[in-house]
Amino acid sequence: MPAPEQRRIIFQHIDEPGYTNDIDCYLRNGGYEVLKKAVGRKPEELIDEVKKSGLRGRGGAGFPCGVKWGLVDRKSGKPIYLIVNADESEPGTFKDRYIMHQDPHQLIEGTIISCFANNVKQAYIYIRGEMPEGARILEKAIAEARAKNFVGPNILGTGYSCEIYVHRGAGAYICGEETGLIESLEGKRANPRIKPPYFPAVLGLYQCPTIVNNVETLCHVKYIAEHGGEAYAKIGTPNNTGTRIFCVSGHVQRPGYYEFPAGTITMGQLLNDVCGGPLPGRTFKAVIPGGSSAKILRFGERFKGKRKVGTEMVDYDWGVEDVPMDFDSLGMIGTMGGSGGVIVMDDTVNMVEALANINAFYSHESCGQCTPCREGSLWMKKISSRMVHGDARPQDGALLKSVADQIPGRTICAFGEACSWPTQSFIAKFTDEFNNYHEAKKQPKPAAANVLV
Amino acid sequence: MNLKPETYQRIDEVITHYPVKRSATLPLLHLIQEDVGHISEEAITWIAQKLELQPINVLEVVTFYPMFRRAPIGRRHIKVCRTLSCALSGGYKTCDTFEKEFCTHRGEISPDGEVTVEFVECLASCGTAPVVMIDEILHEKVDVTKAKQLSAQIKAEAAARK
Ligand SMILES: Cc1cc2nc3c(=O)[nH]c(=O)nc-3n(C[C@H](O)[C@H](O)[C@H](O)COP(=O)(O)O)c2cc1C
Ligand code: SF4
Ligand code: FES
């Protein structure tokens, strides 16, 4: 089956010739019309639309946005904050970058609508430090929107006021984790907080109720406010509504970003039809489907089980190519859709070396609060990099696995899972490659192979 | 602190963005680093005073975040992405090229004082790997040829300054 057509609702204007990131261009394209209508509605109605839409967060966890908004403590009498998670730091993910650089007003409109719906008077956009240009673009866009009374005091004469400020991170991945982000925004080290009791919806920024949403999620909210929750829920598949943006990188002919109705495209269609297949003369070996922490899939493995289609349970028997790219299907086969970052590796890649690269990342980024995470990620890095640069032993795979197995479930934040899943899944799926690496490393490498660590 | 008048102005402005002064720690560190080039002992005490904190509160932030540095670097900062998608597309070769072009090693200031080459983690542009940030500009698909071109450009700009 050929791949379905892209449906760009969030990336509609990305890379469009002549489309610029200033407010005039945005207004010419119908910008802020949705906000104008939204502020005439009851906030609860907007929250209802988001609930009906089934929108799931695009930051990684896929948590339903309407449910998250429903958890906000509205009785405390404290101000409610909204934070836009623009930290985009999960390796393999690069969608929010294009929204912020090329269509910043879409994000600002979505943010203000979300703030209005939740009675938020102050929002912060937490953008990663390595996007100084993005930060400047957003600041300029906010100033433009303020000048036109879409942001700031008494928005469009409604008596409702809301400010947005941009806050820059400084190169730490853990600031993407929502409670680490909050600590960072409070001017501290980004050490994630323990839940309970620090659920942001109740005890977030300055111990006030706080909503943290991803950049892309808030753009979907704008679309939902425009078209209604029901119409949105018709895009995609039940429980995986709306569109999904895939960021494809690594060994394909056409890496890049592609937006499809959720659940309508399979991995094979995405990689072969949309991204042009493997590089000349090579074959696909493995793919990480949802950012570097998602468990790896090996081409050639098969997944069998029963799944719900409509009201019926049907058998499925999938190869990697057959898996629909939605949260539930990817979850069913033991991995995740995560942030939509699809990293492709071909037959030139040695899995020990690829894992050593990933382990170096996590070891660098652990915040260090929890011993299993800090020490575990460090030792996984040391062992895998010793395998590559020093002596490799047949039992190293088992050793790595034993370290990885002791991390998840024993840490303050989900980084513990994120750093152990690569090791666990690489070793489970490429056991022989780990066991035989001491032999394999003596052989000449394929000419096209790149150094990975 | 000896800062540009504009930096002082921006510092006072940014503090107003937060109900709690301490939140301005990262913004102040950025502003001072942009102005001075690095975060000195004096800057840490100055920020602490400005935000009514203890110097340790600022120091612990400086040491946590990779972007803040305690010592000067080369005139230009070349950050090469090290993470998987870039490495799969030859990021290590890109980094080696910059090191060779400027006769330097990762993390050091080149002998001519012109650059510091460094590996950094994923820059969120994995689809155009390998990527490199030179100061505040992102460069995409920087293979060996492009790395040489960029190096030549930096050298030419350095020569023009002399
Ligand atoms: C280690 C770690 C890193 C994360 N990094 C990011 C990130 O870079 N960007 C992001 O939007 N969410 C990230 N998240 C998810 C956030 O914690 C949070 O779930 C998300 O911002 C919620 O927004 P959403 O519901 O709109 O997806 C990360 C989570 C963890 C555990
Ligand atoms: S799991 Fe790791 S990153 Fe998360 S709080 Fe613990 S040490 Fe920090
Ligand atoms: S891996 Fe280099 S930009 Fe993401």
What ipTM was estimated for this complex? 0.97
- The average confidence (pLDDT) of chain B is 97
B54 in contact with A, Cβ within 8 Å: no
The whole-angstrom separation of Cα A72 and Cα A202 is: 6
In angstroms, the CA B33 to CA A76 distance is: 39
Q: Which ligand 2 atom is nearest residue A368's CA?
A: 7
Helix (H, G, I), strand (E, B) or coil at A85: strand
Question: ∠ CA A434-A289-A279 to the nearest 5 degrees?
Answer: 75
* A46 close to A117: Cβ distance less than 8 angstroms: yes
pTM: 0.97
d(CA B69, CA A14): 35
Label the pairing between strands A81-86 and A210-214: parallel
Contact A107, A213 (CB under 8 A): no
Residue A219 DSSP one-character state = H
Nearest CA in chain B to A89: B124
CB B80 within 8 A of CB B98: yes
Residue B162: Cβ within 10 Å count: 4
Task: Enter the tokens of residue A140.
Answer: 């300029």
- To test ligand 1's pocket by mutation, which of A71, A83, A85 has the most ligand atoms within 8 angstroms of CB? A85
Q: Is the CB of A190 under 6 A from ligand 2?
A: no
Do A320 and A287 form a contact (C-beta atoms < 8 A)? Answer: yes
- Ligand 3 atom nearest to CA at B81: 2
Identify the residue among B16, B17, B77, B85 best suited for mutation to test binding to A, counting A beta carbons within 10 A and taking the highest.
B85
Q: Could you tell me the two tokens for B127?
A: 């689809």
Task: Please give the Cα distance from B79 to B7 (Å, whole number).
Answer: 25
- The answer to whether B27 contacts A167, with C-beta atoms less than 8 Å apart, is yes
Contact A248, A260 (CB under 8 A): no
Q: Which of A188, A380, A415 to mutate to test the pocket of ligand 2 (most atoms within 8 A of CB)?
A: A415
- Residue B146 Cα to ligand 2 middle (Å): 38
Mutate to test the interface with A, among B122, B134, B140 (most CBs of A within 10 A): B122
Give the pLDDT band of residue B55 (cuts 50, 70, 90): very high
For residue A39, how many C-alpha atoms fall within 13 Å in the half-sphere facing its CB?
23
What is the model's pLDDT at position A310? 80
CA dist list (Å): A288 to A91, A174, A325, A336, B40: 10, 20, 12, 9, 42
Ligand at shortest distance from the CA of A192? 2
Please give chain A's pLDDT, 453 residues, in tens: 788 999 999 999 999 999 999 999 999 999 999 999 999 999 999 999 999 999 999 999 899 999 999 999 999 999 999 999 999 999 999 999 999 999 999 999 999 999 999 999 999 999 999 999 999 999 999 999 999 999 999 999 999 999 999 999 999 999 999 999 999 999 999 999 999 999 999 999 999 999 999 999 999 999 999 999 999 999 999 889 999 999 999 999 999 999 999 999 999 999 999 999 999 999 999 999 999 999 999 999 999 999 988 889 999 999 999 999 998 999 999 999 999 999 999 999 999 999 999 999 999 999 999 999 999 999 999 999 999 999 999 999 999 999 999 999 999 999 999 999 999 999 999 999 999 999 999 999 999 999 999
H-helix or E-strand containing B56? Answer: helix B55-64
Q: Give the CA diameter of chain A.
A: 73
A46-to-A28, A79, A224, B154 alpha-carbon distances in Å: 25, 19, 9, 52
pLDDT score, position B161: 87
- Record: contact B85-A361, CB cut-off 8 A: no
- State the amino acid at position A132 in one-letter form: P
**Closest partner residue to A91 among B26, B79, B83, by Cβ?**
B83
What are the distances in angstroms from CA B45 to CA A37, B20, B50, B55, B142?
Answer: 49, 19, 9, 5, 40
Distance B80 CA to ligand 3 centre (A): 9
- Residue B120 touches partner A, C-beta closer than 8 Å: yes
- pLDDT at residue A93, rounded to an integer: 97
For chain A, the straight-line distance linking the first and the last C-alpha, in angstroms and rounded, comes to 38
**Does the beta-carbon distance from B84 to A364 stay under 8 Å?**
no
Task: Using alpha carbons, list the distances in angstroms from residue A242 to A259, A261, A324.
Answer: 10, 6, 15
Q: How many helices (H) and strands (E) does chain A have?
A: 18, 13
Q: How far is CA A406 from CA A359, A370, A371, B15, in A?
A: 15, 12, 11, 43
**With an 8 Å Cβ cutoff, are B26 and A169 in contact?**
yes
- Burial (CB count <10 Å: 0-12, 13-18, 19+), residue A436: middle
Q: Which residues of B touch A343 (CB under 8 A)?
A: 84-85, 88, 126
| Element counts in chain B: helices (H) and strands (E) | 7, 4
Of A343, A364, A367, the CB nearest to B121: A364
Q: Please work out whether the CB of residue B125 comes within 6 Å of at least one atom of ligand 3.
A: yes
Burial of A447 (0-12, 13-18, 19+ CB in 10 A): exposed
Contacts of B137 in chain A (CB under 8 A): 133
- Centroid of ligand 3 to alpha carbon of A385 (angstroms): 20
Looking at the CA of residue A68, tell me the nearest atom of ligand 1.
Answer: 25
User: What would the mean pLDDT of B7-33 be, rounded to a whole number?
Assistant: 98
Residue A368 Cβ contacting ligand 2 at under 6 Å: yes
Contacts of B59 in chain A (CB under 8 A): none
Write the CB contacts of B111 (distance below 8 Å, at least 6 apart in sequence): B103, B104
Give the span between the Cα atoms of A397 and A383, in whole angstroms.
Answer: 9
Residues 6+ apart with CB under 8 A from A293: A90, A338, A362, A417, A418, A419, A421, A422
Determine, for residues A168 and B89 on separate chains, whether the beta-carbon distance falls below 8 Å.
no
Interface test with A, best of B88, B120, B140 (most A CBs within 10 A): B88
The rounded Å distance from CA A100 to ligand 3 centre is 17
**Coarse DSSP helix, strand, coil percentages of chain B, rounded to the nearest 5 percent:** 50, 10, 35
Q: Check B127 against A247: CB less than 8 A apart.
A: yes
Cα distance between residue A452 and residue A22, in whole Å: 40
Residue A113 Cα, gap to closest chain B Cα (Å): 21
Of A369, A374, A375, best ligand 2 pocket probe by most atoms within 8 Å of the beta carbon:
A369
Question: For residues A121 and A79, is the Cβ–Cβ distance under 8 A?
Answer: yes
- Site to substitute for ligand 3 among B95, B119, B131, B143, most atoms within 8 A of C-beta: B131
Ligand nearest to the Cα of A56, by number:
1
Question: Could you please report the per-residue DSSP string of A148-190?
Answer: TTSSBSSGGGSS--BEEEEEE--S-GGGGSHHHHHHHHTTS--
- Any idea which residue has 């111990």 for tokens? A207
Of A131, A184, A257, the CB nearest to B127: A257
Distance from CA of B157 to the nearest CA of A (A): 22
Ligand 2 contacts CB of residue A362 (under 6 A): no
Ligand 3: nearest atom to the Cα of B130: 2
Which residue of B lies nearest to A131 if distances are taken between CA atoms? B136
Ligand nearest the Cα of residue A368 is: 2
